[in-house]
Amino acid sequence: MSTIKQQDFIDSIADALQFISYYHPLDFVEALADAYEREQSEAAKHAIAQMLQNSRMSAQGHRPICQDTGIVTCFVKVGMDVKWDKTDMTIQEMLDEGTRRAYNNPDNPLRASIVADPAGTRKNTGDNTPAVLHLDMVKGAEVDVMIAAKGGGSENKSKMVMLNPSDSIADWVVETLPKMGAGWCPPGMIGLGIGGTAEKSAVLAKESLMDPVDIQDLIARGPQSAEEELRLEIYERINKLGIGAQGLGGLTTVVDVKINSLPTHAASKPVTLIPNCAATRHVHFTLDGSGPADLQPPKLEDWPDITFEVGENVRRVNLDSLTKEDVLDWKMGETVLLSGKLLTGRDAAHKRIAEMLSKGEELPVDFTNKFIYYVGPVDPVGDEAVGPAGPTTATRMDKFTDTMLEQTGIIGMIGKAERGDKTVQSIAKHKAVYLMAVGGAAYLVAKAIKKADVVAFDDLGMEAIYQFEVEDMPVTVAVDSMGNNAHKEGPATWAVKIAELDEALQK
């Protein structure tokens, strides 16, 4: 029998959520570093370099790896012999209190992203509660906790299917993953839950993402079960697709494939696929009654000495004097360094703008010859102009893009990952451009933002329209004014190159 103090549990949750907001698990850092060394695609190599540099900067500065500081998911296993010192709070209430304290920490405030009434008003709860709790009773006298903060970009790409018993899981995964786009910020991990029931397979998949990155060890020793064979098959087949870092084409799309399974009905084969992202954030600790969790920080020297350096093929742009004609000669794949003023806006702001335009109302800001950046930043601390401010998934703004290009005067957009086919056609029609910033490099991007002011819709919180003043903000031309699309051409090119490399190795 052990007695666990409620306060120790609350403190441990708060400490863990702060800890994972700025410390990547080192196994994931090492996997990214290995992918960087192997990568032959220049665009993918640059993207991974930005992720690694951002990771080190976040660890050093104790600021979030990503502006999307996630929805909290916690797996708690309580030993049957555990006694709590107080019984006035449930485990859900203790978890929420720890979450509230972590996200409202004045030294490192984390972005509150949770909205209540999801089918209605979608009002932000203000403190990122409630957290998602998965609770089990197990043998023993300890409380085992695995906690993660999962970003919306990767969570939104989750897929579930009820396969026939004779269907191939690997075929379904390899067919499904390219359709997910790059909004989950590859390279990362994918978790598979197989069996149980429909809802249980999703929990199994999510829990698998808490496991360490060990696929290279598995490759070295060889598979010893059907599940390990499946992991290797999926890992190899996905990476041969050529999707690459940020979907720009390259050798590494996934750094690991994890599987959890349970027995299932003889007529069923439920499978859920959940990707993790470049902001892989999780930690595991155990409480035994001796006090709160002792989370040991990694050493900065454990990070690889890899930094993002712009090459010779770089275009420096003054946003304050830019015109529509100036962007016509920008080419897909170019690196661009932006300086000057740009406006921000994401889902809620775009919806409000569209409603105002439909009513003939005057907009509160002038978008003429401006770029709009799809971002919801973290609040600043100290002398920061803004907290971590990486891009959000651009496809969520696709349904508004034609209206924005036709009626507001914007000449370009900045976001994460690909655009839909109709949106690419609209960009080409209006001779605009779409620039991609690297997902998973939010703190690095924030260092380029020298001033940030809310200029409209301040009631929307992090979804308000800001005016940023930036200096040498790095982006890539993902869709140019002719409609050339890096997220189509890059993976297609690298899928062919990988096939040619395989063929050459087999000779």
Complete DSSP assignment for 132-181: EEEEEEESSS-EEEEEEEE-HHHHTT-EEEEE-TTS-HHHHHHHHGGGGT
Q: Which two tokens stand for residue 325?
A: 């004609």
Q: Note whether 58 and 157 are same-domain residues.
A: no
What single DSSP character describes residue 299?
P
Q: What is the mean pLDDT of residues 396-414?
A: 97
Residue 368 is part of which domain span?
315-490
Q: Is 504 part of any domain? A: no
As separate numbers, helices (DSSP H) first and strands (DSSP E) second, the chain gives 14, 19
Q: Which two tokens stand for residue 183?
A: 């909004």
User: For residue 489, is pLDDT > 80?
Assistant: yes
Q: Is 290 part of any domain? A: no
Chain segment 244-298, per-residue pLDDT in tens: 999 999 999 999 999 999 999 999 999 999 999 888 999 999 999 999 999 999 9
In angstroms, the CA 135 to CA 137 distance is 7
Q: Note whether 323 and 439 are same-domain residues.
A: yes
Q: Is 291 part of any domain? A: no
Q: Note whether 159 and 143 are same-domain residues.
A: no
Give residues with Cβ within 8 angstroms of 117, minimum separation 6. 123
User: For residue 312, is pLDDT > 90?
Assistant: no
Q: Is 82 part of any domain? A: yes
pLDDT band at 209 (very low <50, low <70, confident <90, very high): very high
Q: Is 507 part of any domain? A: no
User: What's the number of domains the chain is made of?
Assistant: 3
Q: Give the model's pLDDT for residue 186.
A: 95
In angstroms, the CA 219 to CA 465 distance is 48
> What are the Cα distances from residue 352, in Å, to 178, 346, 440, 457?
32, 10, 28, 9
User: For residue 507, is pLDDT > 90?
Assistant: no
Task: Give the CATH number, domain containing residue 462.
Answer: 3.20.130.10
Q: What is the mean pLDDT of residues 210-226?
A: 97
Q: What is the value of pTM for the model shown?
A: 0.92
User: For residue 470, is pLDDT > 70?
Assistant: yes
Tell me what the pLDDT averaged over the chain comes to. Answer: 95
Q: Is 496 part of any domain? A: no
How many C-beta neighbours within 10 Å does residue 305 have? 8
Q: Note whether 17 and 100 are same-domain residues.
A: yes
Helix axes 226-239, 169-176, angle to 10 degrees: 30
Q: What angle do CA 394, 398, 403 make, to 5 degrees?
A: 130
Chain segment 13-39, per-residue pLDDT in tens: 999 999 999 999 999 999 999 999 999
Q: Give the model's pLDDT for residue 311.
A: 67
pLDDT band at 505 (very low <50, low <70, confident <90, very high): confident
Q: Which residue has the higher pLDDT, 115 or 312?
A: 115
Q: Which two tokens stand for residue 4?
A: 């666990």
Q: Note whether 224 and 91 are same-domain residues.
A: no
Q: Note whether 257 and 405 are same-domain residues.
A: no
Cα-flanking dihedrals φ and ψ of residue 11, to 5°? -60, -40
Q: Which two tokens stand for residue 454?
A: 């809310």
Task: Give the CATH number, domain containing residue 259.
Answer: 3.30.1330
Q: Note whether 158 and 141 are same-domain residues.
A: no
* Sheet strand arrangement including 269-275: 159-163, 269-275, 188-196, 254-264
Q: What is the mean pLDDT of residues 202-230?
A: 97
Q: Note whether 393 and 473 are same-domain residues.
A: yes
User: For residue 487, is pLDDT > 70?
Assistant: yes
CB 278 within 8 A of CB 28: no
Q: Which two tokens stand for residue 328?
A: 């016509």
Q: What is the mean pLDDT of residues 391-400?
A: 96
* Burial of residue 435 (number of CB atoms within 10 Å: 0-12, 13-18, 19+): buried
What single DSSP character describes residue 28?
H
Q: Is 500 part of any domain? A: no
pLDDT band at 204 (very low <50, low <70, confident <90, very high): very high
Q: Note whether 73 and 140 are same-domain residues.
A: yes
Chain segment 133-174, per-residue pLDDT in tens: 999 999 999 999 999 999 999 999 999 999 999 999 999 999
Q: Note whether 46 and 189 are same-domain residues.
A: no
User: Considering only 86-95, 144-153, 208-217, 437-446, which range has the smallest mean pLDDT?
Assistant: 437-446
Q: Note whether 24 and 72 are same-domain residues.
A: yes
User: For residue 504, is pLDDT > 90?
Assistant: no
Q: Return the SS3 of 52.
A: helix
What single DSSP character describes residue 184?
T
Q: Assess whether the previous peptide bond of 270 is cis (omega < 30° from 0).
A: no
Q: Note whether 230 and 321 are same-domain residues.
A: no
Q: Give the model's pLDDT for residue 307.
A: 80
Q: Is 292 part of any domain? A: no
User: For residue 327, is pLDDT > 80?
Assistant: yes
CB 479 within 8 A of CB 425: no
User: For residue 437, is pLDDT > 90?
Assistant: yes
Amino acid at 247: G
Q: Give the model's pLDDT for residue 306.
A: 85
Chain segment 335-387, per-residue pLDDT in tens: 999 999 999 999 999 999 999 999 999 999 999 999 999 999 999 999 999 99
